[in-house]
Structure 1
């Protein structure tokens, strides 16, 4: 994973008007991210 090599690369990410399908995808992908990354 990229976060292993670049853990502090992205400080914040804002996505506006995200389609519902992407919300479901995000919920699945966020399970694989570190807790520290999700708390940003």
Structure 2
């Protein structure tokens, strides 16, 4: 499990879904690629 924390985001649309979620997706995609995890069916 991991946590994405954004301290003092800037802008008008500063919600977790618009600020932290893209970072989490990038990290998860990288880990899946590095570990060679196959896609689920």
Instruction: Tell whether the structures are fold-level matches, with TM greater than 0.5.
Output: no
Normalising by structure 2, what TM-score? 0.33
TM-score, with normalisation over the residues of structure 1? 0.33
Larger radius of gyration: 2
Which protein has greater RCO, CA pairs closer than 8 Å, 6+ apart? 1
